[in-house]
Amino acid sequence: MLLGANLTAFRRASIQNPDPNTGFATSRFPEIGPMRVGVTGGAGYIGSHTVLALLEAGHEVVIVDNFSTGDRINLQPSALLIEGDFKNPEIMQKFLSQNLDAVFHFAALKAAGESMEKPEAYSAANVRGTLFLVESLSAAGVKNLVFSSSAAVYGAPRYLPVDEKHPLEPINYYGYTKLCIEQNLNWFSRLGKIRFASLRYFNAAGYHRAGKIRGLEKNTANLLPLVMEAAAGLRPELLVLGNDYQTRDGTGIRDYVHVEDLADAHVRALQYISNENRDITVNLGSETGISVMEMINTAKRISGRNVPYRIVGRREGDPPELIASSGLAHQLLDWQARHSDAETIIQSMWNLYKEAI
């Protein structure tokens, strides 16, 4: 169902002309009309940035979030909130009563290490919960789904950069939950029940550069929030997991993609599946590797503060290097990682973390 007069006109220029107010890149795709979209986990880290990008693109947004990890400060006044767990049938009924044209699914557990210790929780949230969502969308006739997947579906890289043809061999249960859902989405699509975009993130990082999203991630185990916490004095030290890799400085190298670039890709993915009526599965990465020590040194330079760290042993299963090939996203979505350099990522994070000093 396309919405009309109550929304601003949906206009998108070329990628060379980002919106001056938001910084989000715009698309050369044929325009689609404003849509009413649902977002699970819309108060969370990536979800809230995507909500903002959707609103700026002219869409109406309905958020469902139980705030287990999301933050109310991330909510946008123009987005409708349904508070609760989307896995609750009554909450799902309220969500689907909103006449949605598409759904973005972010609500999930995401710590790879924790998934090996608490597989029951990850099965309940990421597998059974997502399948309940997919089944509910199918029954309600909501065709379009943009799914938050992960590069964890690939496992240890057999070659670099990792493209979408790489073998799918997850080495942790978290990665398996994402792969399991991708396999189910493919079946639902083959049976004519759904049209989907599966976006395989590499390392999401950064915060909104203009400070429009301010809620910090809760209980994160990711490198950069830990670097920021060490710089701000919120933790005594950062543990560097190995410095004896065959890399340029001995520490692990990863592909980091700015969360605003991810949000832009989600808007483009909705455009793609709506315009083309085809599924899409693509990597989202910067195609550039940055080492742990390079991130620490960048944080020192930008913050003007020491980042205390201690070298410890490697974590089992961690590859020396992991870098994406995002060529398919460039080709199909006309997408570029425009803000994913180390300086922009760290500066956008330090803008928030320095307030804790």
Do residues 215 and 209 touch, judged by C-beta distance below 8 A? no
Rg of the chain (C-alpha set)? 20
Residue 352 CB neighbours (<10 A):
17
- The pair of three-digit structure tokens given for residue 261, joined into one six-digit string: 């670039």
> Among residues 284, 278, 248, which one has the least CA distance to residue 266?
284
Instruction: Give the whole-angstrom CA distance, residue 126 versus residue 108.
Output: 5
161 preceded by a cis bond (ω within 30 of 0)? yes
Q: Count the Cβ atoms, other than its own, within 10 Å of residue 334.
A: 17
The answer for residues whose C-beta is within 8 angstroms of residue 263's C-beta and 6 or more apart is 24, 46, 49, 50, 52, 53
First-to-final CA distance of the chain? 48
Any bridge partners for residue 53, and if so which? none
* Contact criterion met (CB below 8 Å) for 356 and 230: no
Which residues 6+ apart lie within 8 Å of 192 measured at CB?
A: none
Please give the biggest Cα pair distance in the chain: 60
Q: What is the distance between the alpha carbons of residues 51 and 62, in angstroms, rounded to a whole number? A: 9
- Strands, sheet with 195-201, edge to edge from the N-terminal-most edge strand: 80-83, 60-65, 36-40, 102-105, 144-150, 195-201, 280-284
309 is catalytic: no
What is the Cα–Cα distance from 285 to 160, expressed in whole angstroms?
Answer: 13
Determine whether 277 is exposed, middle or buried from the number of CB atoms within 10 Å of its CB (0-12, 13-18, 19+).
exposed
Considering the candidates 174, 207, 272, 353, report the single residue annotated as catalytic.
174
Quote the CA–CA distance of 135 and 268 in Å, as a whole number: 24
Nearest-angstrom CA–CA distance, 146 and 61: 14
- Which residues are designated catalytic? 174
